Structure 1
Amino acid sequence: MPDTTLPLQDRSPSQPVRFRGGGFTVKGHRWAALLAFVVLIAVWESTNRFGLVSDLFLPPPSAVASALAAMAQDGSLWQHLKASLMRIGVGWVMGTVAGMAVGFAMGIGSVARAVGVPLVSAFFPIPKIALLPLFILWFGIGEPSKFATIGFGVFFPTVIATYSAIDSVPRNLIRMAQSFGLPWASILRKIVLPGALPGILAGFRITASIALILVVAAEMIGAEYGIGAFVLTAGNLMLTDQLLAGVLVLSLLGLSIGTVLSILERRLLKWR
């Protein structure tokens, strides 16, 4: 029986204590996602091969891949993809730049916050695609109305993400910098902006997905080219293999945007 009369610090442990300060370290599982996709595609293909699901309602992955390859060969894929990427890029940049400016002003200015928070709370819940007819009336049925729809949809989440990220910066760091006489511009550049950057980049992931959703909806109204217009045409003609090929392109596009944002986060947040 061990001697319990000795102080805890005088006891010699029989085995080393396990380190418990991992801090929720994320471990890399490189092949987990790929394995999950392979299993999902295999199950999907098997349901069609064994006749459990009709090809009209859910074409097998092989048929979707064939339709996608045919689109790539005849050039229609690149034509639709180019149109959608252009609309996403312009609309997202417009909404992001304006949203960051307003969110930054709300985060550091009391007057801007008092005015901006109620306005954002009032306009943010409005479905942006419902305003597309109004934007068409204002800007015409061409590209400007689609840019406005995407930019308007991206603007409000960017404002909220930027404002919340700046508001979450520890005030002790700001007070410490002020006590050392650091200029206000340097405080914003060296303390506020780096501290808010993780939250802003997290907002970019949300707004990129919103832009992708809105471009599809906008292209279904008055667009000749674009992934949304292609999906709508394929659905009207009951070409479900082409429809799912368009959906696959959208999924890959979202995955690519997420990968680019992950690379950007690793480069800009090395200090974490």
Structure 2
Amino acid sequence: MTRSRRRLAETALTVAAPLALVVLWEIAARSGLIDARFWPPPSSLAITAGELIADGTLASNVGISLVRIGVGFSIGAIPAVVLGLVMGLWWPARALLLPIASALYAIPKIALVPLVLLVFGTGEAGKYAIVAISIFFLVVLNTVAGVLAIDRAYLEVARNFGAGAGARFLTVALPGALPSIFTGLRLGLGFSLIVIVGTEFIASDSGIGRLIYDSYQRLALRDMFVGLVVTGLLGWLLTFVVDLIERRLVPWRESA
């Protein structure tokens, strides 16, 4: 199968699976197989989504959540990549910090929300902080793994040609670790979306998480389902954007 045909097949399957799920959901709700009071048919959700878009509720809450994710993700990911590269190249840093990073990574980040909000407050700083913390150790560990997977011969060749530590950092370690870095970033975006929605449940008066929770409290189930569907679409969109960037920066991975 040629590459173009494979991409076409992948696109068709990507669209077909959720479309089939929506059709089955619609049929089940309309036929009474599931209780439409608790599982509103997708056609009614489309009407509700249109109403939320028309009055600006959906766009404003989605925008607020995306800003929180974007700022927090940047604060967490950039230093995580730098630290991961340092740990991968320099064994004393790895020996000192890897056990700590591994231990802190294992803590469910949603469990840290009360502590983070206590330290940083319930304002925007607290939300940025919880997103940054939720992805920091994940990206660090993936970056370290990417550097350690590089053939040591490349580093030796760079050293033999007179490349200093900075040059090896930028020309060998960073490009070689990019596939693992992007894996960490992709997973981190999913983590950040989960954490920010959970945080908005309990410590926010805005955002997609708050929209879902308020709808639940009012028993406005259609609004709640719209929020859930939009959250899922955001997760897919964020992953898609990372994939596009990766194809630009790591073209050899796609060809492989």
* TM surpasses 0.5: yes
Please tell me whether the aligned partners of residues 29 and 35 of structure 2 are also in contact (alpha carbons under 8 angstroms): yes
The within-5 A match list for 1:165-204 is: 165-204=146-185
**Greater than 4 Å deviation, 4+ residue runs:** none
Once residues 180 and 88 of structure 1 are traced to their aligned partners in structure 2, the CA distance between those partners, rounded to angstroms, is: 42
Check the 8 A contact 2:197/2:210 in 1, yes or no: yes
Q: Name the residue aligned to 1:162.
A: 143
Match of 2:211 in 1: 230
| Structure possessing the higher radius of gyration over alpha carbons | 1
TM-score by length of 1: 0.87
Q: Is the 8 A contact 2:84 2:141 kept in 1?
A: yes
CA contact (8 A) 2:87 2:93 kept: yes
When structure 1 is superposed on structure 2, of 30-39 and 107-116 the one drifting more is 30-39
Identity of aligned residues (%): 34
More helix by share: 2
Report the AA paired with residue 106 of structure 1: M
Aligned positions of 1:59-70 closer than 5 A: 59-70=40-51
Any stretches of 5+ residues in structure 1 without a counterpart? 1-21
TM-score normalised to the size of structure 2? Answer: 0.92
Equivalent pairs counted in the alignment come to 250
Partner of 1:83: 64
Per the alignment, residue 211 of structure 1 pairs with 192
State how far apart, in whole Å, the 2-side matches of 1:33 and 1:163 are. 32
5+ long unaligned stretches in structure 2: none
SS in 1 for 2:19: helix
- Give the aligned residue type for 1:209: G
**Cα distance, 1:26 vs. partner?**
9.3
Supply the RMSD in Å over aligned alpha carbons.
Answer: 1.8
Match of 1:12 in 2: none
Matched with 1:145 is 126
Q: How does 1:130-141 map to 2 (within 5 A)?
A: 130-141=111-122
Aligned-partner SS, 1:52: coil
Task: After TM superposition, give the deviation of residue 70 of structure 1 in Å.
Answer: 0.7
Structure 1 pair 37/129, CA: closer, same or farther in 2 (3 Å)? closer
> Structure 1, residues 34-64: CA drift from partner, whole Å, max 9, x if none?
2222221111100011111111221111111
Using the alignment, how far apart are the partners of 2:50 and 2:212 within structure 1?
Answer: 16
Give the counterpart letter for 1:257 in structure 2. Answer: L
Task: Encode CA deviations 1:173-193: one digit per residue, 9 max, x unaligned.
Answer: 112222333333332222221
- Give, in angstroms, the shift of residue 236 of structure 1: 1.7
2:103 aligns with 122
Please say which of residues 132-141 and 44-53 is displaced more in the overlay: 132-141
Provide the rounded CA distance (Å) in 2 between the counterparts of 1:193 and 1:26: 33
